[in-house]
A and B are shown apart, each in its own frame.
Chain A
Amino acid sequence: MSLARTESPIVRRSLIGIALVYLGVFIFIPLFIVFSTALQKGIVIYLNSLKDSDTIAAIQLTLLTALIAVPLNLVFGVAASWAIAKFDFHGKNFLLTLIDVPLSVSPVISGLIFVLLFGLQGVFGPWLRDHGWKIIFAPTAIILATIFVTFPMVARELIPVMKAQGNDEEEAAITLGASGWKTFWYITLPNIKWGLLYGVILCNARAMGEFGAVSVVSGHIRGLTNTLPLQIEILYNEYNFTAAFAAASLLAFLALITLLIKSLVEYRFRSELKAVRKQGAH
């Protein structure tokens, strides 16, 4: 690095120092607190608090929610990114803006809209009641609100990756007589697999961790409509800090795994992109 482009060692070290202190206060300490509070009374109490039947029911509901929400948003993400990355059409930017809408809606509002649809005073409320169906204060609403909140997660990761790959390989396959599905399966999918993986992992982390939207529609019925984040809130408000943080540590661990996979994907994607660019240069 030339002298013109760098600061004196003192300035450099102070800037790194300030950055690390800020990150320390706002990121490292919270991360540390989650695990240290969870384990403060020892590993036995930590493990026992996770065996509580309400906590296990909450884990099961969280897994079920993610198991439904993530595949649905995955299929949407693939369809949306195929249309947006591979074709040029009118209204594309508007569509992109609409896809991002759930990200700028408050989680509480994301829950509210489903109450307005399916709650007792809602549009379909009386009809649902007459037919004996319950959506609000039941797992169905929790799953719907989660799908809404995590809606853009896969699409947002896939669109730039698919765009970067270009259309050349797919066009060659189609010209040589391959079917559309075959082309997608053998050409597109291997090219986007890392972006797809990260999109799914991120969507999953968000689905398992959603709090505000789920809180509005859940009704907080113990053992029935509590997801893991809601269970954490209940345990915390009962001053059962060890159990609350033990449950929280599961989600914090999931967040760390998500970040690890993100780093690996970025590393893989960067080297693959470099290879593609090198081929293009020849």
Chain B
Amino acid sequence: MILLKQKSTLPGFRLALGYTVFYLSLIVLIPLSMLFVKTSTISFSDFWAVVTAPRTLAAYRLSFGAAFIASFINIFFGFLIAWVLARYNFPGKKIVDALIDFPFALPTAVAGIALTTIYSSNGLLGQYLYSIGIHSAYSWLGVVLALIFIGLPFVVRTVEPVLQEIDPEIEDAAASLGAGRLEIFLRIIFPAVLPSLVTGFSLAFARTIGEYGSVVFIAGNMPGKTEIAPLLIITKLEQYDYSGATAIALVMLIVSFLLLALTNLTQWWASKRIGMS
């Protein structure tokens, strides 16, 4: 096999790789390529008209904007939670640690109806927010709240292992040389976790820009105001406007892929930096 970098005594490489590529093509690559096939049948002016229509732009703005804000908020609190879990002990820590992945394991529709119930005007938290004039449901804020829920585990689970791996002796050494706690944090801990924060942010961002189930219940779905891009795709499909749906989807897909590339680049940069020091 030309593909193999070195000869192996283990059997099954051809079969395993062959099946992997076959199944990958059948389930993922061929269906996904339909997006490009379909786009190629749309004229550029039609494509441009769809993706720059005011309603589409408003939907992109909401999907990308809310995902950005939610992921940004999650960077701070996700880091704090990862810090607490990696460094401190408190009663119930094991349960808390296990529940971090709850948003990842919970079906999005369940999350959607639960969050809407909590944040609507007579909900558990919504009643207080509405009484001070904050409309936490059926608004862009509701979208952000749902996306915070969805993105949280991605930040915590990316940062936590990095925090655990920081060699305590370096901190001891810095302290014995007279560095204060804040200085140690800013000059040793923070630079070490920075790449994982960037990775965590882009993972959460990539996951939340296309999010549908948890958002659609709480968003309000007013065209041009609280309508997310995935919902606009569904609306176009229901009107049998396959071209319009495809055009909107393609732009979202390209943004997701760029983010994926950025994540891989950050990881490569981080591993290179660690290798150098």
Q: Mark A residues whose CB is within 8 Å of B.
A: 2-7, 12, 15-16, 18-20, 22-23, 25-31, 33-34, 37, 75-76, 79-80, 82-84, 86-91, 95, 97-109, 112-117, 119, 121-123, 144, 147-148, 151, 167, 170-171, 174-175, 180, 183-184, 202, 205, 208-212, 215-216, 229-230, 232-233, 236, 241, 244-245, 248, 251-252, 255-256, 258-260, 262-263
Contacts and interface: CB of A to CB of B under 8 A. Distances in A.
Contact of A108 (B84, B88, B217, B230): B230
Contacts of B38: 116
Given A91-B3, A259-B105, A23 B9 contact: no
B181 A7 contact: yes
Given A27-B99, A95-B20, A180 B11 contact: yes
A113 B107 CA distance: 21
B114 A33 contact: yes
A214 B108 CA distance: 12
Interface in B2-34: 2-6, 8-13, 15-17, 19-21, 23-24, 27-29, 31-32, 34
B11 A248 contact: no
A241 B116 CA distance: 11
Contact of A119 (B13, B148, B242, B264): B242
A215 B234 contact: yes
B109 A12 contact: no
Interface of B: 1-6, 8-13, 15-17, 19-21, 23-24, 27-29, 31-32, 34-35, 37-38, 77, 80-81, 83-85, 87-88, 90, 94, 96-103, 105-111, 113-115, 117-118, 124-125, 148-149, 152, 168, 171-172, 174-176, 181, 184, 206-207, 209-213, 217, 229-231, 233-234, 237, 240, 242, 245-246, 249, 252-253, 256-257, 259-260, 264
B237 to A, nearest CB: 6
B230 A248 contact: no
Contacts of A104: 206-207, 210, 256-257, 259-260
A112 B243 CA distance: 11
Contact of A27 (B88, B102, B117, B256): B102
Residue of B118, B149, B172 contacting most chain A CB atoms (<10 Å): B118
Contacts of B90: 16
Nearest to A28: B99
18 contacts: A4-B172, A4-B181, A22-B77, A23-B99, A27-B152, A29-B125, A31-B99, A86-B10, A106-B212, A107-B230, A109-B253, A113-B32, A148-B28, A171-B10, A211-B213, A212-B212, A262-B98, A263-B98
A12 B88 contact: yes
A114 B43 CA distance: 22
Contacts of A99: 24
Contacts of A117: 31, 34
Nearest to A93: B264
Q: Is the interface of B mostly helix, strand, loop or mixed?
A: helix
- The 9 lowest CB-CB distance pairs between A and B, nearest first, are A106-B210, A209-B107, A4-B175, A212-B212, A211-B213, A180-B11, A108-B230, A83-B16, A255-B105
Contacts, number: 294
Residue of B10, B171, B206, B234 contacting most chain A CB atoms (<10 Å): B10
A189 to B, nearest CB: 13
Contacts of A258: 105
Contact of B20 (A12, A19, A79, A215): A79
A177 to B, nearest CB: 12
Contacts of B29: 98
B124 A148 contact: no
B195 to A, nearest CB: 18
Residue of A34, A103, A108, A216 contacting most chain B CB atoms (<10 Å): A108
A58 to B, nearest CB: 12
